[in-house]
Amino acid sequence: MTPPSWLDEIPVIGRMSLAEAEAKLRAVGETEIAKALLEGQAESPYEALVMLPGDESPWEKLRKQLGPRPWQHTAHAFGYLAPAAPGSALLPIRHAGNIAPDETLRNDRVKITLNALRVADYPGGGTHQVLFDFYAQNQVPGDVEHLHFNATHRVREGEQAGIISRPIFVGLNVGAEGVAFRCRTVNVKNQDDEAFLAFLDSDAFKSGLKLASTVQPALAPFSAMALALTKTIAARNRNIAVQAFEMGLDFSQIPSGARLAQGAYLAVQIPETQEAIWDWSEWVYNPNNGRVVNVDDQSKLIPYNYIIFGVSRYQGD
């Protein structure tokens, strides 16, 4: 079973203590930022972590010194892209809570795919090997299976991974209340770990985790192993967790939630200061090149790290 503290067990760089962040950044060559992180911020990492309400966080001070970096952020904007017929017209993106739920998916089965992984900026620069960990609840009759699935992708700074519709969970069982997802990316810079993770690029893993409509006893140890792998790799020297989010998709009409429907969901890692003012109407999907672009300037991409995953009705047996 996945504990509630899953997001805290593998802290992303934006949530690390000063000492942890400084060591990680220095290990991957971000020496200027590592130095600025500790200089003049606090007398000790502990002092920085227990700053009084109203004080600036060490990360906020660092942003003012060197400018914001996409990997520093911990907030997210969640968008939804509806299914559409082939064509060249730009497709609108809406907030994931501002859509009608698809009631036909209640107690049905779905396929989850990784459609895009964009690395606008990860620590260390250059080409990154990104370990992707995706969690979901598989709600079978009389039980809930907690699933983890790993994948790895090589992505150059400022570009998207060379993937499209890579299966993650095939035949995921949706409950009466919806589904719950969690996702984390780890920037793997340790050369030994990069070589070790090559097995995740095999054909067996590229086909995703195939699920049944009943309990599968083998899934529990497999998922535990996948989570342990992510935790171990993230803790190793030169490896840094970058992006993490939790997302529940339901069938309610609560404005602050998110609805479940067939389509694509976007999770963009943005500054917390923009979370309240982020406007999805400023961004559209261009079906001619498969990119999310600015509605007024189609040469402008979202300047943040993001993940797009697809949800479609399972068509298997």
Whether residue 277 sits in one domain with residue 307:
yes
**What does the buried/exposed string (b/e) look like for 152-168 if buried means 16 or more CB atoms within 10 Å of the residue's CB?**
bbebeeeebbebeebbb
Q: Are residues 62 and 74 in the same domain?
A: no
75 and 46 within one domain? no
Q: Are residues 150 and 182 in the same domain?
A: yes
Give the count of domains, the chain: 2
Is residue 1 included in any domain, yes or no?
Answer: no
Q: Strand 209-210 vs strand 166-173: parallel, antiparallel, or unpaired?
A: parallel
Using the 3D structure, point to which of 66, 81, 107 is the last residue of a domain.
Answer: 66
Residues 167 and 36 in one domain: no
Last residue of a domain, one of 20, 51, 66: 66
In a domain, 234, yes or no: yes
Shared-domain flag, residues 30 and 171: no
Rounded Cα distance, 266 and 72, in Å: 19
Q: Which domain, by its residues, includes 58?
A: 9-66
Query: Of 66, 84, 104, which residue constitutes the final position of a domain?
Result: 66
* pTM reported for the whole predicted model: 0.86
160, 239: one domain: yes
Note whether 59 and 76 are same-domain residues.
Answer: no
Q: Are residues 158 and 258 in the same domain?
A: yes
**Within this chain, do residues 307 and 215 fall inside the same structural domain, yes or no?**
yes
Token readout for 220 is 């529990």
Q: Per-residue confidence of the chain (317 residues) as pLDDT tens digits?
A: 444 455 567 889 888 877 888 889 889 988 888 877 766 454 333 344 444 445 666 666 666 665 678 898 889 999 999 999 999 999 999 999 999 999 999 999 999 999 999 999 999 988 999 999 999 998 888 888 899 999 999 999 999 999 999 999 999 999 999 999 999 999 998 878 888 888 777 776 777 888 876 657 667 778 888 888 888 888 888 899 999 999 999 999 998 899 999 999 999 999 888 877 899 999 999 999 999 999 999 999 999 999 999 999 999 76
If asked whether residues 214 and 300 sit together in one domain, one would say yes
Burial 63-93 (b: 16+ CB within 10 A, else e): beeeebbbbbbbbbbbbbbeeeeeeeeeebb
Q: Is residue 4 part of a domain?
A: no
Could you tell me if 215 and 264 lie in one domain? Answer: yes
3 belongs to a structural domain: no
Has residue 209 been placed in a domain? Answer: yes
